Copies of this chain bind each other. A is one copy, B any other.
Amino acid sequence: MVKQERAARTRRSLIHAAAEVFAQTGFVPASLGAISARAGVSNGALHFHFANKGMLAEAVEAEATEAVRRLTEAARARHGDSLQTVVDAMHALIGALAEDVVVRAGFELAGDIARRTASPLRREWQHWVEDSLRRAEHAGALAEGVSWKDAARVVVAVGVGLEVLGGEDATWLSRQSVTRIWDLLLPLLTDRPDLGAPVSSGSRAAAVVPPRAQPRLTQPEQR
């Protein structure tokens, strides 16, 4: 039992270390040696958990996908089919990109042209936004003459733009930056203050990011 716990902890440390190395160097140049050293485990232990670099990248993406799913579900649970759901989820996603290296690396791996994968994370985010805005339209929460498709096109493009720009300059990921964007977009998307005007800074609960088990790391290399 203790052995299993230790194995699970090593696995989490390796995923976290891999995310740091991938986010720092990109997928192709990342070396397994750098990842095991950063996780503080032997190469043998790394190979016990992951046969190759591709499997490590998949594990990072899977964990990032899970984190995005948790934060979108949390936003919907709080605000149902209102626009506030999308506002809160966007705040939570951009906050996770700024603070959680696994989410950041998950998106960057998904966009790494050298891996030629289908970028599941961006697609998942896109589908969730489309679905949420379709629900909002159905609930009468969108302004007259605004279709969920047009609203989703702008919201998805803005989200991906912030993700990419934020990889180079973190000020794009600040809460204030996201709030200013919603300040501009919300009056355009909704004309129904009687339904309770959405709050561009996110509802209070949006600030609370659902927890994820964080591995305790020994970090032989510092960035």
> Which positions in A face B, CB cutoff 8 Å?
23, 25-29, 108, 111-114, 118-119, 122, 126, 146, 150-151, 153-154, 156-162, 164-165, 167-168, 172, 177, 180-181, 183-185, 187-188
The verdict on A180 contacting B111 (CB below 8 Å), with A156-B165, A164-B160 known, is: no
Majority SS of interface residues in chain A?
A: helix
Contact of A165 among B114, B122, B151, B184 (CB under 8 A): B122
Q: Which residue of B lies closest to A185 (CB)?
A: B154
Whether A167 pairs with B113 at a CB distance below 8 angstroms is yes
C-alpha gap A112/B168 in the complex (Å):
11
Whether A113 pairs with B26 at a CB distance below 8 angstroms is yes
Contact of A164 among B164, B168, B180 (CB under 8 A): B164
Counted per complex, copies of this chain come to: 2
Residues of chain B within 8 A (CB-CB) of A159 are: 161
* Residue with the highest number of chain B CB atoms closer than 10 Å, among A157, A164, A167, A188: A157
Whether B153 pairs with A157 at a CB distance below 8 angstroms is no
C-alpha gap A183/B27 in the complex (Å):
39
CB<8 Å pairs between A and B, sample of 15:
A25-B113, A25-B114, A26-B28, A26-B112, A146-B184, A151-B184, A153-B177, A154-B158, A154-B181, A154-B185, A157-B161, A157-B162, A157-B172, A160-B161, A160-B164
Given contacts A114-B114, A157-B162, 13 further A-B contacts (CB under 8 A): A23-B113, A26-B112, A26-B114, A27-B114, A29-B114, A113-B167, A151-B184, A153-B181, A154-B184, A157-B157, A157-B165, A160-B160, A160-B164
C-alpha gap A157/B126 in the complex (Å):
15
* Residue with the highest number of chain B CB atoms closer than 10 Å, among A156, A165, A185, A188: A165
Query: 9 nearest interchain CB pairs?
Result: A157-B161, A161-B161, A26-B114, A160-B161, A26-B113, A28-B28, A157-B158, A188-B188, A150-B180
Q: How far is the CB of A114 from chain B (nearest CB, A)?
A: 4
Q: Which residue of B lies closest to A187 (CB)?
A: B188
Q: How far is the CB of A128 from chain B (nearest CB, A)?
A: 15
Whether A164 pairs with B167 at a CB distance below 8 angstroms is no
Residues of chain B within 8 A (CB-CB) of A26 are: 28, 112-114
